[in-house]
Amino acid sequence: MPISVLLARIRKLIPRQNDRHCDEIVRGFGVGELRTPAAPMSDGELATAIAEFLKDAPSAEAVSSLGRRFNPSSSLPPETTLGGTGALSMEPCGNRWNQHGSNREPGRNY
Residue-wise pLDDT for 24-40, tens only, equals 999 999 999 999 998 89
% the chain with pLDDT above 90: 51
What pLDDT score was predicted for residue 110? 32
* CA diameter of the chain: 44
**Cα angle, residue 61 at apex, residues 89 and 85 outer, rounded to 5°:** 30
Percent above pLDDT 70 for the chain: 66
Q: Which pTM does this prediction carry?
A: 0.66
**pLDDT tens digits, one per residue of 51-88:** 999 999 999 899 999 999 998 876 444 444 444 444 44
Q: What is the mean pLDDT of residues 90-105?
A: 43
Outline where 16-96 has alpha helix (H).
19-31, 43-55, 60-70
- Nearest Cα neighbor of 34 from 7, 70, 77 is 70
Cβ of 104: how many Cβ atoms within 10 Å?
Answer: 14
CA distance 30 to 42: 23
Spell out the domain ranges in the chain: 3-80
